[in-house]
Structure formats: C-alpha cells, structure tokens
Structure 1
C-alpha cells in the first residue's frame, strides 16, 4: 500500500508542475494577440503566485479540516478548470480571473505534500517527489511547442490539451480517495503520528524565527525560487528577442531547462544515499552559477541551450534537499512550522522577482535577463553559505537524523 500511495503522491506533483511552465513559453504569442506590454506577463504571473501564497498559508487549517486526499483532489480540479478557462479566454481580464483558481489550487497541495514527505519519508523520496514536479513542468512546454509550431500558432489548443491531461489526473485522484483515508487511519495509530502530535504541541510555545539560522534559510528559498521562476517565465522571451529563435524552438529549449531539473532530481534521489544534503545543495548552487556564464557571455545561441540545461541541473537538488534538511538543522519539533515559512518565502520569490525583471526590461531590454539570473543565484549561494556557517558554529547539524519512516 505504501508504494502505491507514493505513486499517487507523485501523480499529484505531476499535476502541480504541468501549468507552471506554460505562461512563459506562450507569452511571446499571447502578448501581441492581447495587445498588452511585455511586463504584463509578470503581473499575471504575480496573480498566480500570490494566490498560491494565500492558499499555502491557509493550508494547515484546510488540510486539518478536509484531509490531504480531498484537498489534493479539489486542488487538481481547480487547476484543470483554470487551464480550460485559459483556452477560452477572450481577453486579459479573463486570464486574470482564471489565474486565481490556478494559484489557489497549487498552494495547499504543495505545502501539504511537502510536509508529509519531509516528515514520513527518506531523503531520496523528497528528491523524486520534486522530480515528478519536473516531469509535469517539462511536459508542459513540450506539449505546447507541438501546437505553437504550426502556422496558426495555436497556444489555446495547447492549453486545452493540458487541461484534458489534468482532468484525467482528477479522475485518478477521485477513485483513489478511499486510499488516502486508509493511510490516514494507519498513520493516526502509529507511534510516529503520536510523536508528531507531541512535537506540534511543543512548537506552539516557541518562536521559530528566533532560532539561529532560520532567517538565512528563508532567504535562500526566496532567491532559489526567484531564480527558478525567472528562468521559466522570461527564458523564452530572451531566446526569441535576443537570440532570434522562433517561439516554438524557444519553448523546446526552455523545456530542456525543466528537463535538467527533472533528471537532476531523479539522479539526486540515488546520490542522497551516499552524499549528505549540504554537499548536494552547495554543488548544485555552484553548477547553476556556472551555467549562467553561458547566458551572460556573447556566445552563439546553442551555448544558451547549454546554459539553460546546466542551470536546471544545478537547481535540481537544492529545493528538495533544503526541505528535507530542515528537521536536522532546526529540530523535528520545529520543522513543520519552519517548512511553512520556507514555502511562504519560496512563493514570495516566485511572485515578486520575475515581475521585477519584466518591469526593468520594459524600460530597457530583455537582454538584462542573464544579469538578473546571476544575481539571484549568487545571492542564494551567499545566504546558504551563511546558514552553513551558523550551523557549523552551533555544532548541531544532525546528519541523517531527519530520515524517517516508510520505505
């Protein structure tokens, strides 16, 4: 049952990743159709991410009231309906309306499943969970590229197709709802569930933000998601307007960026069996920083593809390893609260940093894209190393003690 349950969780993360990369690759076609400025994509993106922040902050109450299975099912349904709305959207206002359920549907499921896997599963399962997010994020641009490469550039049909895939996942989640209840019943009667309850009771009387190292950890999540989302949203526009690629080719290249994240997380799942999280985080940050050099230098367009792939591979281990490292760094009794804060800062980076680039680019050029990515990745590396220094000074890094039950 535990293995089959993991498959359901992985499917849920595919549905979470499918819509995340669509706006960036379709915007070069959507912008002239709706007759809006370049930076409008940033505001639309901000609407989606802002609603995700709201639902993630409310996820604790929602999950407790309705259960993880029901919340996952409804969230996937909301994103499917929203994507269908993008297909029929006659104006920018309609897209903004559809962006609201798209964002709300992502927040609760993301926070709930991340916390569940961090507490109950080994480190490699956390990497593979986010690998399946990458599967969805990679498939999105690939599917869309097949439709926008035609003479009519039918991005609407692409949204319709991906909405259909989401509805298939909705059906799967609906018929597996009883499984969530069975697993929940087993978990409630286990010793680990009782321990988790005690940890939550202790956490009520503390102020996690006052724990040494928490603030640089939050900033690391802010800059990580800022870098990841900015590449995904503006990478295609950079390739079209600066490297003179067609929208369909640019979409395929951006899909390879997400493929780098996906493949990297799959491989990381095996590497975590031998290498600790901190080493993987640092190595990933250095590789991502190296990849930005290929975007920064005036090299032929093909080097941009290399840069996108290297950045994706570098970013791959950072998010899942940092989430899973949280109990080891700050204690299991604090991890649930701190992971909530980390998710909030992650979505804040996703919400505000890409629009900042869009705003500046609208008054200059999208050619500034590589400079922003270098700045975000460098800032992420600096805050992460600051955190490692604090943890080393405290001497309380408990390697391996955050690994928990199940498989």
Structure 2
C-alpha cells in the first residue's frame, strides 16, 4: 500500500512540474547560470533545431511569458563580468568613429562644393546616401545577431568603415563618393543598433549610455575641429582628413573583433531566449505586434526626428554661420565644434540627472529648453549669440538618444531588445540622412536660413511623440 501511495504521489508531482523541468534541463545541457529555471526549448522547436542546425530558426520559445522583474544577478554591469570592461571600451571607440564620421559631413561641405563644383542639392546627397545603409542595418541587425552574434557586428561594421574611408582617400568621382557613404552608413547603423541594445540592458544604463554617446559627441567635436584646421590653416585637400579615419578604422576592426570574438550567435541565442508565444521573426514581433509595436515605432520616429535635428544642425551650421551670420570660415567651423561639445558634455552630466527624475519627465523638460534656445539662435541675428545658443542647445539635446534607448529597455521584454531597439536606433539614425538632405534641397531655392524653422518644427514634433509613450516603469527582462 505504501508503494502504491508513493507511486501516486510521484505521478502527481510529475504532472505538475518537477519532471518536465528537470528533464528539459538535462536534455538541453543547460550550463548558463542566467537561464531561467522554468524555461527551455519547446518540443516543436527542439525537433526543428535538430533538422536545421545551420539556421537561426533554432530561436526558441519559452513556455511562460516574460517575467516583469529580474533578479539583480541577471543584470550585467559595464565591468562585470570582466570581459565587459574591454568590450565597453571597444564600443566607446566605435562611437567615437561614428561621431567623427557624421560630423565630418558638415565640415567638408564648403570644400566639396568647390572641389566638385556642386550645388546645394547635389552636395546634400552625401547626407542622403547613408540612409540606404541605415535602412539595411535596421532590417538585417536581428538576423546578424541570431546567426553570428555580436561577433558578426564587431567584424562587419568596422570593415564597412575601413573600406569606405580607403575609397574616399583617393578622392573618386562624386557619384562614387555618394555610394561609399552608403557603406559607412551601414556600418554606423549596425553599431548603433547593437551597442545601444547591449548597454541599454545593463545596470546604470543611463550613465553608461551617457558615456557611450559622449564618445560619439567627442568624435563629432574633434572631427570638424581637426578637419577645418587642416583645410583652412594647413591648406590641405579635404580628403586628407580621411587618412586619419582609415587609421582609426583599422584600430576599430582589430579591437572590436578581439573583444567580441567569444560573443557568437549561439551565445546570443542562449542569453536571449524568446519569452513569448509568438512564432517567426523577432523583428516582425517587435514592429508589427502590439503592444511592442507601439513602443518601437514611437521611439523609432522620435529618434528619426532627434538624429535629424542633431546632424542637420551639426552639418549645416558652418554654412549657415558663413552665409547668414557672415562669420569667418574658421570661426564658423568652431561653432560646429561648440555644438558637438555641448552634446558631449550634456550626455555625461545629464546622464546622471535623467535617471533620478525619470526618463519621461527629464526629456519632457529638456526639449522645451532646447526649443527656447533654438528660437534665440534663429531670432537674434548676432554671431556670438548664435554660437552660444547652439552650444547650450547641444547640451540639452545630448541625453535624448540615451534616454530613449533606456525607455525601450524598460518597456520591451528582453528578447525584443536587439530587434526592437536595434530597429529604432537604425531607423532613427536614418534621420541623419533624410533631414540634412531636405535642408539642402530646400536651401537650394530658399537659402540656408530655412535650417531654423525646420529645426523648430522637428523639436515640437518629437516632444509630442515622446509624450505619447506609455508610462515607464521597471525594466522587463
């Protein structure tokens, strides 16, 4: 009788939970300590995986929905585990190059106009061409992570930079120049997607992302300063600056691949199990299925406008200060430096303020201040007032991108971080191509002073988009 009761008891326990969990873990040989104790491959996914080992269709579905909280030991730090310290600095270097890449456009526009004998609208194609690269990155980012992991991004993105800069160094015909900027845009889009998603999910994400984007701002500060000095004081051709960019890209490729070599596709898939009952692409789940789609599209459109403001101001301010404020070439170039320096300092300083008052409220305050400074820049026709106003505007615009990434990590489940944040970041990055080109196209007929009303309108629109986000609570992992 005791034996019968024991058998019955064991049968009940099996039916509830103990045997399926234990068997599933043994069958999958789970060694990752961060793996949830109640998750694993569904039977259907396990069967599909055995028939297609070379495909990333092994993306697994958890049997329970994503938990709303996570234990502290599941959240990575920028310096823990130890490899993260190396990887974090590798991403900082990548963002330094991204910032230098984007800010160089504005510094070389006057020289491209003269060298190639171009109009505003034609020279503006160098802003538009990276759009194609950013769109490609938005669509392929999740697939690259699933197949090759962060290792794939660490190899492909720096290689795109290196190839683009080598071609630019030989100052090819202008149509070729436009094409290679597509390649540089693809590299930027991949890194924007991958490293924002990775760091955005860490502890103290606002602060670390603030430093990450500060390095972007630092690169954007250095590039016009050095490039303008080389061209105006040194009398060197515009393409000489890209010799330096080639060297920086070589370092980026070597350091990034070495740092992320262990972050393969399998490592990524194991660390980001699917925690929903959806099938198919994670990108489709992020952008087409509610409630995630609402968050992703609002953030994507917000970043589209924000990056458009950032690059349009940084890209056209030199021309504006020369043609409208009648400044000297070198002083006008320094105005762009002041704008990017303001962004850099703002990202570091306000990166510590934003998490203390909350991302939603912080950005709701920063944007109206930036709008007021933009109106001063526009309506007070004095060179030095404009230079100071645009630098302060950069300070308050600086934390917007990092805060949007952190908001996404809090509003989306962990398995959608790379697909959702990656899409939003890459899609948003294309704003740095669309709006600067639009400014140039309109300026062809109305003059470069159209920069100001366009920026004012964009600031108002992205404020409304930000206020449309859901209430931001704790992170969902």
Say yes or no: TM over 0.5. yes
Compare CA radii of gyration and give the structure with the larger one.
2
Find the counterpart in structure 2 of residue 394 from structure 1. Answer: none
Contact 1:12 1:72 in 2 (8 A): no
- 1:297-312 equivalence runs, <5 A: 297-312=379-394
Find the counterpart in structure 2 of residue 102 from structure 1. Answer: 184
Find the counterpart in structure 2 of residue 256 from structure 1. Answer: 338
Aligned partners of 1:90 and 1:186: how far apart in 2?
41
Contact 1:25 1:141 in 2 (8 A): yes
Offset of residue 322 of structure 1: 1.0
2:357 counterpart SS class: coil
**Alignment size in residue pairs:** 388
Distance 1:202 1:370, change over 3 A: same
User: Which stretch of the first structure deviates more once superposed, 267-276 or 210-219?
Assistant: 210-219
Deviations 1:89-127 (A, max 9, x none): 142123123213212222222211122222344322222
Find the counterpart in structure 2 of residue 145 from structure 1. Answer: 228
Whether 1:399 aligns to 2:476 is no
1:199 counterpart SS class: coil
Whether 1:197 aligns to 2:279 is no
Distance 1:175 1:207, change over 3 A: closer
Aligned mate of 1:86, from 144, 156, 168: 168
Contact 1:23 1:41 in 2 (8 A): no
Find the counterpart in structure 1 of residue 254 from structure 2. Answer: 171
Find the counterpart in structure 1 of residue 211 from structure 2. Answer: 128
Distance 1:351 1:384, change over 3 A: same
Aligned partners of 2:218 and 2:151: how far apart in 1?
21
Distance 1:219 1:20, change over 3 A: same
Distance 1:115 1:151, change over 3 A: closer
RMSD: 2.6
Contact 1:208 1:334 in 2 (8 A): no
Contact 1:15 1:136 in 2 (8 A): yes
Aligned partners of 2:234 and 2:195: how far apart in 1?
41
2:341 counterpart SS class: helix
Alignment TM-score, normalising by the size of structure 1: 0.86
Find the counterpart in structure 1 of residue 47 from structure 2. Answer: none
User: Which stretch of the first structure deviates more once superposed, 70-79 or 303-312?
Assistant: 70-79
Aligned mate of 1:233, from 311, 315, 336: 315
Aligned partners of 1:203 and 1:251: how far apart in 2?
51
Offset of residue 231 of structure 1: 0.8
Ranges in structure 2 where 5+ consecutive residues have no aligned partner: 1-81
Find the counterpart in structure 1 of residue 111 from structure 2. Answer: 29
1:17 counterpart SS class: helix
Aligned partners of 1:60 and 1:333: how far apart in 2?
11
Offset of residue 252 of structure 1: 2.0
Ranges in structure 1 where 5+ consecutive residues have no aligned partner: 392-396
Aligned mate of 2:133, from 38, 41, 51: 51
Deviations 1:50-109 (A, max 9, x none): 212212311111222223134223311321231232221142123123213212222222
Alignment TM-score, normalising by the size of structure 2: 0.75
Find the counterpart in structure 2 of residue 114 from structure 1. Answer: 196
Distance 1:92 1:255, change over 3 A: same
Find the counterpart in structure 1 of residue 424 from structure 2. Answer: 342
1:197 counterpart SS class: coil
Determine which structure has the larger helix proportion and give its number: 1
Contact 1:242 1:367 in 2 (8 A): yes
Aligned partners of 1:201 and 1:163: how far apart in 2?
46
Contact 1:68 1:109 in 2 (8 A): no
Aligned partners of 1:86 and 1:167: how far apart in 2?
15
Whether 1:380 aligns to 2:462 is yes
Offset of residue 141 of structure 1: 1.2
Aligned partners of 1:252 and 1:148: how far apart in 2?
13
Find the counterpart in structure 2 of residue 223 from structure 1. Answer: 305
Aligned partners of 2:173 and 2:408: how far apart in 1?
43
Contact 1:287 1:310 in 2 (8 A): no
Find the counterpart in structure 2 of residue 357 from structure 1. Answer: 439
Whether 1:157 aligns to 2:202 is no
Find the counterpart in structure 1 of residue 149 from structure 2. Answer: 67
Aligned partners of 1:251 and 1:203: how far apart in 2?
51
Contact 1:148 1:247 in 2 (8 A): no
